[in-house]
Amino acid sequence: MYRKELVNVLENNPMGLHELAQLLGMPIKTLEDDVQHLLKSLKHSEYELVISPAVCRKCGFHFDKHKLHKPSKCPQCHGSWIQEPLLEIKSR
């Protein structure tokens, strides 16, 4: 997976990791490694990777921003109706 292709897909188009893996036909683990590398390589470019945190749809709890995976349960209400983190690339 080339980083430029990831930039083109995610530019102003927020997607979750599972949706992105399905679109690109890649395993989630491989894509997660590519996204982590992209996060580091974009530090000195005109783009930035914005990670919207996972949110519990039952109680509204916001999870840690830097996690790419969807948590299994909410620590506050113990619900499992959780929106996965969204990845988006924006111009600085």
The domain ranges of the chain are 3-91
**Which DSSP symbol is given to 71?**
P
pTM of the model: 0.83
| Cα gap 28→1, rounded to integer Å | 12
Average pLDDT for the chain: 90
Report the DSSP beta bridge partners of residue 87.
15, 51
Q: Is the pLDDT of residue 22 over 60?
A: yes
Q: Which two tokens stand for residue 7?
A: 């930039």
Q: Which residue would you say has higher pLDDT here, 66 or 55?
A: 55
| % pLDDT > 90, the chain | 53
The residue whose two tokens read 């600085």 is 92
| Cα gap 6→84, rounded to integer Å | 18
Q: Is the pLDDT of residue 79 over 90?
A: yes
Which of the four pLDDT bands, split at 50, 70 and 90, describes residue 1?
low
